[in-house]
Structures are given as structure tokens and as C-alpha cells.
Chain A
Amino acid sequence: MNQVQTTNRSAEEFLKGLWKENPVFVAVLGMCPTLAVTNTAINSLAMGLATAFVLVFSSLLVSSFRKLIPKQVRITAFIIIIATFVTVVDFMLAAIVPQVHKELGAFIALIVVNCLILGRQEAFSSKNPVGLAMADALGMSAGFTFALLSIGSIREILGSGSLFNIPLFGSGFEPWVIMVLPPGGFFTLGFLLLFFNWLQKRRKAQMRATPSTVKP
């Protein structure tokens, strides 16, 4: 494989996480943080970035040591690596942004069991070289953060009438309180899943109509 192909492959691995295999909108992974902490845009962004940190560094280590970890204890080893980075994130957030840490609460510790992270280690990082594993982890992280931020922004705008704590509407706006409550998470996720499926269906229909287009 030459240099150009390697770069292409990395770009492909990155982009698939962002769109085609988006962990939330397509694979529907990591639902616990997706529903629980997306009541404001700030919380969503913080959770997305915390998960990204854990995923990227776990993939880096798992991919680097993939030939040294015996397959019998690989899950245990992955979990040790993931849990270490989750605890690091927990301490760092408490030290640097105590307000965000308080808002996210137990959900930071629960990143350990986000199946997106363990899933990527098992399905990708443990079988691919560091460069590709990094591209995959960054893409998945970006896709996850993008999904959380979309849900969080919609819920904050409708449920609190603000975005990133900046009021958007005048005092005449009556917030849809339900959007910041747990049902609002399900509503928003449901409508977004519907929207992304509709997009995908439409794209497939277009591709069938114009078969000359090679790249999907």
C-alpha cells in the first residue's frame, strides 16, 4: 500500500464515524449519556469531549500494545485502560471545571461502560495499526460529540429558551419544560433518528436513480 492510499484509508476511517457509522444516529450506541446529560448544550459538549479523550487515548494504547495483550485477557486489559482514563478525566474535570463536573455527576464514571468505547477497542483498535486506530477513534469521538451537541442544543433551545446559557428569546417565551426533563431526551433522539434515516433513504433513492455516481 502506498502513502496516498494509507492517507485515504485514514480519512475514510475518520469520516465513517462522523456520518456513515455515526455511533449515536446510526449505530445507536452509548444511549445512557446521550439521553441523560444532554439537557443543555454545555453538558453535552463536556460529555462529548470527556468521552473523546477516553476513546482516543484508550485506542492509542490498545492499538500500540495489541500484539502484547493475549486474547484471553484482552477485555480485562481494555477495561483497565479505559477505566484509568475515565478516572483521570473525572479528577481533571473536578479540578478545572468544578461546575461542569457537578452537573455531569455520576455519568462521568459511567463512561467506563459506554459500549462505544469498548466496542471500538474490540472491533478496531485491537486489530489495526496506531494510525488507523487514531483516525477511527477521532472520527467516532467527533461523531459522538456532534450527536450529543445536536440533541443538547435542541433541548436547551426549546426547554430553556437559551443556547450555551445565552438567552435567545425575549421574556415572552414560555420554555417547554418537558424538553429538559427525561422524556425530552427520548423525543429529541427519536426525531433526530427519524430525520437521519430519512436522509439516508433519500440518498439511497437518489443513488439508484443516478447509477453513474460511483462514490456513495
Chain B
Amino acid sequence: MSETNIQEQPITETESEPGSGRLIATLGIAGFFSGLILVGVYLFTLPMIQANRAQALERAIYLVLPGSTSFKALALGNGSLVPAEEVPAEKGGEEPARIFAGYDKAGKLVGFAIPAEEPGFQDIIAGIFGYSSGQQAIIGFEVLDSKETPGLGDKIKKDAGFQGNFQALAVTPEIIAVKKGEKRAANEVEAITGATISSKAVVRLLQKGVEKWKPAIEAYIQAQNQ
């Protein structure tokens, strides 16, 4: 067995020193093949990763706009909402912020799905919420990404009681967080016991999102009705 004869051969000091050319060549070749493999895998997986992202976004939009079956992406162009395709990418290639108008089977507007971000207890909480301008209310909320404490803060994703706050949450005069069991008005959100900071972050996320987009949405609906 020739193979086993080589095993555990110690690298001795008497071995001739390889030239620097050989060292550079070894690392160069390794880097070249590494790059080749990475580009190949990247190109192979990119369409799948993009499809996953689009699917997750689509699922979230239909969840926060109950009854919607189709949607249209909108973005701010010259101060008013226009189809997202018509807005050129910002400098640096960043996509402009988008919201999504959801329609039911009959083609009637259900509401707007608005993505928003807000610092939570651990890290940024990214969420998307459904806003109905007819009801002046939030009609659904989903967490897209969060690193809140498992078992406590991450209840903002899973807790049915907390999620129940967002079926018809009035946005006027403003959304406020109250302690569990103390919800009296339509604009109040019952916070999760033991996760007050995360709950308040969600309330801020909603409030800021509404403030940012409400004027543009109202102008958009008026323009559509004319």
C-alpha cells in the first residue's frame, strides 16, 4: 500500500525551502478556483433566493390585507404615489421605498401594505402592516425580520392576543401602547407582559409608518376617484 506509507510523515526542517514564486502560485491558484466556485454557486442560487424573497413578501402582503388577491407596488415620485416601475432608482442604485396597494377579487381596493422598520430591544424590527384608508385603521401586521428575545420579545410574531390588536386598530388621533387588559379605545394596543420594549417598538413602527405614508395615500385615493 503505497498510500499508507506516506502517512504522518513529519515535515522536517531539512526540506528545501520553496521559492516565493511557488508560494504565490499556490495561493493564486487556490484563490482562482475558490472564486470560480463561488461565482458559479452564486449565479446558480440567485434566482432561487430572489424567488424566496418575493414569495415571502407576497405572502406577508396577503396576510396583512385580508381578502386581497392581487397587489400593485407603488412608490413616491415627485411627491405623489405612482407605480413603482415609473420611479427611477435612487443614486447608488438603491430601490426607492415601496408600498403595496392590495385588491380583492372584484378589483376593489382593500388597503395598503406598508413595510416599516424600527429599533426594538435587540436589533431593528422589520415589519409590514395593512392600512385601510376607508376605515382609517390598521387591519393587519406581520413581523418580517426581528431578533427579539426568544420566549419574550419574539411574542410580537407569535402571540395571538398581541396579533389581535391589529385587526381594526384606529390610527387617529395616534396609536398608543397600554398595559395588558387595559385596552379601552380603538387606537390602543395591549402590550405583551415582559416584552414592553418590543411592543412599544411595534407601536412606534406603525405610528411612524402611518405618519409617513398617510398624506400620500389620501392624495392618491383622491386622484383615483376623480
Contacts and interface: CB of A to CB of B under 8 A. Distances in A.
Question: What secondary structure prevails in chain A residues at the interface with B?
Answer: helix
Contacts of A72: 18, 23
Contacts, number: 83
Contacts of B15: 71
Interface stretch (A23-31, A91-99, A107-115, A139-147): A91-99
Contacts of A84: 34, 37-38
A39 B38 CA distance: 30
Contact of A77 (B11, B27, B145, B147): B27
Contact of B26 (A69, A92, A96, A160): A69
Contact of B52 (A76, A95, A105, A177): A95
Nearest to B147: A105
B26 A68 contact: yes
Chain B interface size range? 20 to 34
Contact of B49 (A76, A80, A94): A94
Given A70-B26, A73-B27, A91 B9 contact: no
A94 B45 contact: yes
A1 B151 contact: no
B5 to A, nearest CB: 9
Given A70-B18, A70-B22, A128 B8 contact: yes
A159 interface: yes
B6 interface: yes
Interface string A35-70: 000010000000000000000000000000001111
A67 B6 CA distance: 10
Interface in A104-137: 105, 127-129, 131-132
A6 interface: yes
Nearest to B17: A72
Interface string A157-200: 00110000000000000010100110000000000000000000
B160 interface: no
Contacts of B124: none
B30 A81 contact: yes
A128 B41 contact: no
Nearest to A94: B49
Contacts of A160: 151
A150 B18 CA distance: 46
B4 interface: yes
A102 B147 CA distance: 10
A80 B149 contact: no
Contact of A95 (B6, B30, B48): B48
Interface in B152-183: 152
Nearest to A89: B41
B220 interface: no
A177 B56 contact: no
A69 B48 CA distance: 36
A118 B36 CA distance: 22
Interface in B1-22: 1, 3-4, 6-9, 11, 15, 18, 22
Given A68-B26, A88-B38, A129-B6, A94 B31 contact: no
Contact of B41 (A76, A80, A88, A98): A88
A96 B23 contact: no
Nearest to B20: A72
Interface string B132-150: 0000000000000101011
B3 A129 contact: yes
A106 to B, nearest CB: 10
A129 B5 CA distance: 9
Interface in B26-81: 26-27, 30-31, 34, 37-38, 41-42, 44-45, 48-49, 52-53, 56
A87 B41 contact: yes
A80 B30 contact: yes
A73 B29 CA distance: 13
5 contacts: A72-B23, A73-B23, A91-B45, A91-B49, A160-B151
